[in-house]
Chains A and B, each alone.
Chain A
Amino acid sequence: MVAITLRAKRLKQVYFVSADTSDTVLALKGKLAKMVGGGKEAATIRLQVPAKTEQGKFNVLEDPAVLEQLGIADDAVVYFIYSIDGTPDGNWEPVQIIEFESLNDDGDETVDLKGKGHA
């Protein structure tokens, strides 16, 4: 019922997908597959969200689940992965999160004091 925009991330790509809270996970996969293009199908994509209980673990989103019930609201992030051999039952890629570069240049942290007179 409520239109939301969420981010689907994989490696270094971020897809901004418009969806509705009443959509199912399968519908979301379909939209994502269409944006990715190249003949990708919903069946070969798997969506995951970070598990609330453990750090570094991910929960797979099942196809028939509805976004609203999963607690996916506006500006949510989901991670997606492809199946390695093209079949939904086969092996899946591991989820890799690549963080953005930080705003400050980390090289400025150490200040070289050589040559400056100290009192």
Chain B
Amino acid sequence: MADDCVKLISADGFEFIIDRKCAMASGTIKNMLSSPGQFTEAVQNEVTFRDIKAIVLEKVCKYLYYKVRYSNTKDEIPEFPIDVEVALELLMAADFLDC
């Protein structure tokens, strides 16, 4: 895996490989990856979320790209679409991930 990428693993075993910069947009992931100790997450650039399903984690990844893309720009920011079915679990995941 490239050095500027981070792998997020969902509860059902799906692996999502995203840019490190986008992963850092989540406070929780940022802390996990840059903690001063030799935690496995920091060493391997991988974080496993045993409580977050793939559907939700995929939406989270898309949001992280959206956040990085539109932070600090004066462009018109399009709405981020969220399906109602995913909304509740997405809310819980977002709260946990601080993003």
Contacts and interface: CB of A to CB of B under 8 A. Distances in A.
Contacts of B11: 101
B85 A12 contact: no
A84 interface: no
Contacts of A98: 14
Interface in B32-59: 53-56, 58
Interface in A16-41: 16, 18, 34-38
B59 to A, nearest CB: 11
Interface in B1-41: 1-2, 5, 11-19, 22
B1 A101 contact: no
Contacts of B2: 34-37
A14 B1 contact: no
B89 A16 contact: no
A13 B17 contact: yes
A75 B62 contact: yes
Bin the interface of chain A by size: 20 to 34
Given A5-B65, A16-B65, A75-B62, A101 B53 contact: yes
Contacts of A37: 1-2
B78 to A, nearest CB: 10
Given A37-B2, A100-B53, A103-B86, A12 B62 contact: no
B94 interface: no
Contacts of B19: 16, 18
Contact of A14 (B12, B53, B56, B58): B58
Interface of B: 1-2, 5, 11-19, 22, 53-56, 58, 61-62, 65, 69, 85-86, 89
5 contacts: A12-B13, A13-B16, A16-B61, A18-B19, A100-B14
